Amino acid sequence: MIEDKFMRVLLMFDMPTKSKKDQKNANKFRNSLIKLGFFMMQFSVYVKICKGSASAKTTIKSIEKILPPYGNIRVLTITEKQFDNMQILLGGVSFNEKINDDKNLVLFEYDEKSKDFKYGNEKINKEKKKTKLIQPSLFEF
């Protein structure tokens, strides 16, 4: 079964940051979210675009594996249409939302057999290079 419906996984969290250990846990969690493909929509609200509900469920299972010891973390899965109906009551669309718009999205499929990524019928050679995660500031324009 092929799922073409895009879904959004919204993750909202509050975490303690009083001690150095709390700050370290919070930073580790945020960095792990970015590695999973999330981007910051606004402070403590992260979003990931998924292809279908199965992908969204897999993403949530991945989040459950990286949960910090303390905090309040909630997740909500909605369709792309529901996300598009979101109203901004104050402020505007963040820089992260602009650059991570679904119109800029390119999906690659991982082929277990060849252990390679594919885009449509094309194979893509993967290189195992370490890259630094760069998350633009919420207020960059």
Binding-site residue ranges for Mg(2+) = 14
| CB-based burial, 16-39: b 16+ in 10 Å, e otherwise | eeeeeebeebbeebbebbeebebb
Q: Tell whether 21 is covered by a domain.
A: yes
Rounded-to-integer distance, Cα 46 and Cα 138, Å: 11
- Domain containing residue 53: 1-86
pLDDT at residue number 25: 96
- The CATH number covering residue 76 comes to 3.30.70.240
pLDDT at residue number 84: 87
How many structural domains are present in the chain?
1
pLDDT at residue number 141: 37
Q: Tell whether 113 is covered by a domain.
A: no
Binding-site residue ranges = 14
Q: Tell whether 120 is covered by a domain.
A: no
Q: Tell whether 17 is covered by a domain.
A: yes
pTM for the complete prediction?
0.69
Q: Tell whether 93 is covered by a domain.
A: no
pLDDT at residue number 131: 45
Q: Tell whether 40 is covered by a domain.
A: yes
Q: What is the pLDDT along the chain (141 residues), one digit of tens a residue?
A: 455 688 999 999 999 999 999 999 999 999 999 999 999 988 999 999 998 899 999 999 999 999 999 999 999 999 989 988 988 888 888 777 776 665 555 555 556 677 665 555 444 455 544 444 445 444 443
